[in-house]
């Protein structure tokens, strides 16, 4: 879920279903909105030559979409062998139970309440299916259960809602926390600097080919919003709603409820750091 439409200077690429990297195919869910951009990207991942595939984020409970994901795999000569979730928001996870039923797969996620099957998922785990390797990178902040998946063979990372293909994301206070989110962005930056990751495969919006640039943009955007919130508080804007109206005046009003959660996260961060 996003808290802002495309910002000046940001790419406005098209989102299309289809191959994004050698190992990743996007099946776009039919749930576009101000919060979900073009819709949820359901990622189908597979090692070339392997008959097995992993699905990341089946998306909303939409029978047509879930069946389309399975058909897409079959057309590529693949069988879905495992389902992973980046986090529990319904636009990513609501269809997971039904998808697991249709495919007979386990669902692995950080939050035990989202899992189907015996295996959990957490920091440092390496998921291997048909020769495909995914490394689990905890990236809390958007939500406490947010994970990213590093796909080293394609120098890519699947970011869920931690980094989007367009605009910026929300910190879903009180579950999401700004301090965690900033640490997660720095963790992703180190993947781009130290591990050669070039490509962001986001949960919504187009694929980004300059992963480091995207992370730097997110860090700069967060710092600038935080400074604006701090200034607004100093100027006497006390409630979260009041701060939103002041700081997010440039953002479509349909996104203000999401922005208010982000502001609450920022006010908490400022309090915890003794800045207000």
Establish if 263 lies at the interface with Zn ion (CB under 5 A). Answer: no
Nearer to Zn ion, 160 or 206 (CB): 160
Q: Which is nearer to Zn ion, 46 or 86 (CB)?
A: 86
DSSP state of 3: S
- Residue 131 DSSP one-character state: T
> Is position 161 an interface residue for Zn ion (rule: CB under 5 A)?
yes
Give yes or no for residue 261 binding Zn ion (CB under 5 A): no
Nearer to Zn ion, 141 or 206 (CB): 141
Minimal distance in Å, beta carbon 161 to Zn ion? 4
Select the span of 5-13, 66-74, 158-166, 207-215 touching Zn ion (CB under 5 A): 158-166
Total of chain residues touching Zn ion, rule CB under 5 A: 3
Which residue's CB is nearer to Zn ion, number 38 or number 161?
A: 161
CA nearest to 76, candidates 132, 18, 128: 18
| 164 touches 5 (CB < 8 A) | no
Give least dist CB 145 to Zn ion, A: 10
Q: Which residue has the tokens 């962001």?
A: 200
Residue number with CB closer to Zn ion (1 or 261): 1
CA-angle at 57, arms to 99 and 256, nearest 5°: 125
Nearest approach, Cβ of 130 to Zn ion (angstroms)? 28
Looking at residues 80 to 99 of the shown chain, list those that interact with Zn ion (rule: CB under 5 A).
89
Q: What are the structure tokens assigned to 100, written together?
A: 């697991």
CB of 236 to Zn ion, least distance (A): 33
Which of 1, 114, 200, 207 contacts Zn ion by CB under 5 A?
A: 1
| CA angle (60, 66, 72) in 5-degree steps | 135
234 contacts 275 by C-beta, under 8 angstroms:
no
Name, in order, each residue with C-beta under 8 angstroms of 241's C-beta and a sequence gap of 6 or more.
260
Q: How many residues does the chain have?
A: 276
Instruction: Give every CB contact of residue 205 below 8 A, 6+ residues apart in sequence.
Output: 2, 13, 15, 37, 38, 41, 164, 165, 166, 167
Nearer to Zn ion, 40 or 46 (CB): 40
In whole angstroms, how close is the CB of 142 to Zn ion at the nearest point?
6
- Cross-strand pairs, 33: 37
Chain residue whose CB lies nearest Zn ion:
89
Q: Is 204 in the site for Zn ion (CB under 5 A)?
A: no
Positions that interact with Zn ion (CB under 5 A): 1, 89, 161
């Amino acid at each position: 879920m996003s808290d802002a439409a495309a910002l000046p200077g940001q790419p406005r690429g098209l989102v299309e279903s289809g191959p994004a990297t050698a190992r990743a195919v996007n099946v776009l869910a039919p749930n576009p909105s101000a919060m979900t951009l073009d819709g949820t990207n359901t990622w189908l991942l597979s090692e070339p030559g392997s008959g097995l595939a992993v699905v990341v984020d089946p998306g909303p409970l939409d029978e047509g979409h879930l069946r389309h994901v399975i058909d897409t795999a079959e057309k590529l000569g693949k069988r879905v062998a495992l389902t992973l979730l980046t986090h529990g928001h319904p636009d990513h996870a609501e269809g997971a139970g039904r998808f697991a039923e249709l495919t007979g797969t386990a669902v692995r996620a950080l939050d035990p309440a989202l899992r189907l099957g015996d295996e959990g998922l957490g920091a440092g785990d390496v998921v291997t299916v048909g020769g495909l390797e995914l490394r689990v990178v905890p990236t809390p902040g958007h939500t406490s259960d947010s994970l990213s998946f590093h796909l080293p063979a394609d120098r890519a990372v699947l970011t869920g809602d931690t980094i989007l293909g367009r605009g910026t994301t929300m910190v879903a206070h009180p579950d999401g926390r700004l301090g965690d989110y900033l640490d997660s962005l720095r963790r992703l930056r180190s993947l781009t600097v130290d591990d050669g990751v070039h490509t962001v495969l986001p949960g919504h919006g187009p694929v980004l080919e300059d992963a480091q640039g995207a992370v730097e943009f997110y860090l700069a955007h967060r710092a600038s919003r935080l400074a604006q919130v701090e200034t607004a508080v100093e100027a006497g804007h006390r409630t979260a709603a009041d701060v939103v109206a002041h700081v997010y005046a440039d953002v479509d009003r349909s996104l203000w409820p999401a922005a208010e959660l982000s502001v609450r996260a920022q006010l908490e961060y400022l309090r915890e750091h003794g800045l207000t």
